[in-house]
Structure 1
Amino acid sequence: MTIPIEVLEAEALSLPQADRSRLVDRLLASLGHDPEWEEAWSEEADRREARIADGQAQWISGPDAVARIRASLK
């Protein structure tokens, strides 16, 4: 028996936050991973952290980043 996606979605959204978080983690893990992508992203993250450590860049908050992106799209 297959549960319609709308029913499954409604059930999942009715779960407490901790259970939804656990479900998301398990679903993402079930998708597998791409080692090449993970390695490339790890290298990029290291480059970004090095630029911050060297003073070439600085951390910005999530809301500030979104505001900058929105402003650039106008």
Structure 2
Amino acid sequence: MMVTLMNFQMIETEALHLPREDRVRLVEKLLNSLGKTSTSLDSEWLNEAKHRAEDIDAGRVSLIEGNKVLEKARKKLK
């Protein structure tokens, strides 16, 4: 489970550093990979992803590297 979490966080960190257009394309591909779901739900997730991408691009949020997140979590668990 920890390896999967580390892989996920590494992928997430890298994905968040992609240009906005690439992040939107990635979100669309990931949503499509889930199969048929509610159109309104797909639209809501796509809007959420776009808002998050805009927040990152505008500097309203800061990104934290996955390994730093894991390190902080491990310290809290001790």
TM-score range, shorter chain: 0.3 to 0.5
More helix per residue: 2
In the superposition, the TM-score normalised over structure 2's length comes to 0.39
Larger of the two Rg values belongs to structure: 1
